[in-house]
């Protein structure tokens, strides 16, 4: 009779433990279930009732779940505050530059877009990097996000092929779309992320070739200074960043 009650209480206790955050549950859940079962069996062997003791364990565990979740929320809020402060500090530099020099001319839209990009990149890293348990995974996420950030920033600022008004540059947003779609399909798993970043690197490499086929790039003051070799070199830089991220994801998949 006692063993049947213990199994029943253990079943509901296992359900309760699911309220912990996933990382916490995966790390301590099985051990807590074993401890719960051992305590109930010891209590039964001493000839004492199980209901009151099991109820007390449920209440104690519920309090622990609340404490852990509150701590997790506080930590996430602190990180978001740090991201916001970091974004504000970075934007302070171009703001000061606009006040003291004519070389930097930013309007309100520029500051809003820059703030969204910087804060969004940091928040994406915070949300995605914690999915992995290895340094390789976190570094891979960081490299991929930095590459995406620079790709968007440069396209909006001056353009990579020609000026920022050259419609050919819209293909780079297609490159990022491949990365986002692939990450969603892979559900951020290392093996799938590795394949996604390799595909992103390939798409990045194809953009200048397709641009030459579709339309000869317009020669502007920006492109005149770097030439076509500069465009190819810049694309190669992004390709290497995406490949580097893919290799790190591949390395992390065994340990994640």
Residue 132 banded pLDDT, cuts 50, 70, 90: low
- Asked if residue 31 is part of any domain, the answer here is yes
Q: Are residues 114 and 6 in the same domain?
A: no
- Specify whether the backbone of 192 is left (phi greater than 0), alpha (psi in -120 to 50) or beta: alpha
Closest Cα partner for 165 from 221, 111, 246? Answer: 221
> Which residue in this structure is represented by tokens 């790039």?
217
Q: Are residues 138 and 205 in the same domain?
A: yes
pTM of the predicted protein model? 0.67
Q: Are residues 130 and 63 in the same domain?
A: no
User: 39-78 pLDDT, tens per residue?
Assistant: 888 888 887 778 888 888 899 999 888 888 777 777 767 7
DSSP assignment of 241-253: HHHHHHHHHHHHT
Q: Are residues 121 and 242 in the same domain?
A: yes
- Asked if residue 133 is part of any domain, the answer here is yes
Q: Are residues 225 and 114 in the same domain?
A: yes
Q: Are residues 121 and 74 in the same domain?
A: no
DSSP assignment of 40-98: HHHHHHTT--SHHHHHHHHHHHHHHHHHHHHHHHHHHHHHHHHHHHHHHHHHHHHHHHH
**Cβ(147)–Cβ(160) under 8 Å?**
no
At residue 216, the pLDDT reads 57
The size of the chain, in residues, is 256
Provide the terminal-to-terminal Cα distance of the chain, rounded to the nearest Å: 42
Looking at 101-220, list the stretches that DSSP marks H as alpha helix, in order from N- to C-terminal side: 108-129, 135-157, 170-186, 190-214
Q: Are residues 31 and 119 in the same domain?
A: no
At residue 131, the pLDDT reads 67
Q: Are residues 122 and 218 in the same domain?
A: yes
Q: Are residues 128 and 250 in the same domain?
A: yes
Q: Which domain holds residue 116?
A: 108-256
Task: Report the alpha-carbon distance of residue 169 to residue 178 in Å, rounded.
Answer: 15
- Asked if residue 88 is part of any domain, the answer here is no
Q: Are residues 202 and 156 in the same domain?
A: yes
The pair of three-digit structure tokens given for residue 40, joined into one six-digit string: 């109930």
């Amino acid at each position: 009779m006692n063993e049947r009650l213990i199994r029943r209480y253990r079943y509901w206790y296992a359900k309760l433990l699911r309220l912990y955050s996933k990382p916490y549950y995966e790390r301590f859940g099985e051990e807590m279930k074993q401890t719960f079962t051992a305590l109930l069996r010891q209590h039964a062997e001493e000839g004492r009732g199980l209901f009151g003791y099991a109820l007390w364990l449920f209440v104690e565990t519920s309090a622990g779940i609340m404490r852990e979740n509150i701590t997790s929320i506080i930590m996430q809020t602190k990180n978001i505050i740090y991201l916001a402060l970091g974004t504000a500090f970075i934007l302070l530099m171009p703001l000061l530059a606009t006040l003291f020099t004519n070389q930097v001319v930013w309007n309100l839209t520029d500051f809003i877009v820059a703030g969204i990009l910087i804060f969004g990149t940091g928040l994406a890293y915070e949300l995605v990097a914690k999915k992995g348990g290895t340094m390789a995974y976190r570094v891979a996420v960081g490299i991929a996000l930095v590459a995406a950030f620079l790709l968007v920033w440069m396209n909006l600022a001056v353009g990579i092929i020609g000026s920022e008004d050259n419609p050919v540059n819209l293909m780079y947003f297609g490159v990022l779309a491949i990365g986002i779609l692939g990450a969603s399909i892979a559900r951020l798993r290392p093996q799938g992320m590795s394949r996604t970043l390799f595909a992103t690197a390939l798409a990045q490499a194809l953009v200048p070739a397709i641009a030459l086929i579709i339309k000869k790039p317009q020669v502007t003051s920006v492109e005149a200074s770097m030439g076509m070799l500069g465009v190819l070199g810049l694309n190669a830089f992004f390709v290497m960043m995406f490949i580097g991220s893919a290799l790190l994801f591949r390395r992390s998949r065994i340990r994640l």
